[in-house]
Structure 1
């Protein structure tokens, strides 16, 4: 004999629907939300780009600090001073010829 199938009650269907909806919402938020997986990957990519820029700026800062120290009163590099005067001010000696 075949047993008649019982339909699930409305409370079970409602509970299942709410749980599936909440599960879908939290899954969506975990992947695409403000603090989700995609945002984390984007932030990590931005972090690596900014770290590369920071490294370049640190190198440039080191060069500028070196030049500043070499042009300071306590330590004067005459070759650098001569180079800067020629480059920025256009100074030449009387026995030099400029070819452009």
Structure 2
């Protein structure tokens, strides 16, 4: 693994943590105004962004073994979770982080 790759992962991890912390803080700050703030935590989703990795069978297999549902997410999986959190059915949810990752977060 190159030093450049390692730094990129550190920055990615730090910014992901910062977004989660910011979301929780905003949820508390804006709750009195009836504004809900939640975070989606997607796993590997079949998009152009990771398509080059998924086209490598060895990488795809390694990623799938980390995902209990044994499939990659689809953009619709993320969209459906976002629609739920924005809906009236989630009216009492704020400050939550919803894993939409096929169970991958539970194995790490």
| TM-score range normalised by the length of the shorter chain | 0.3 to 0.5
Determine which structure has greater relative contact order: mean sequence separation of CA pairs < 8 Å that are 6+ residues apart, divided by chain length. 2
Query: Larger Rg: 1 or 2?
Result: 1
**Structure (1/2) with the larger strand percentage:** 2
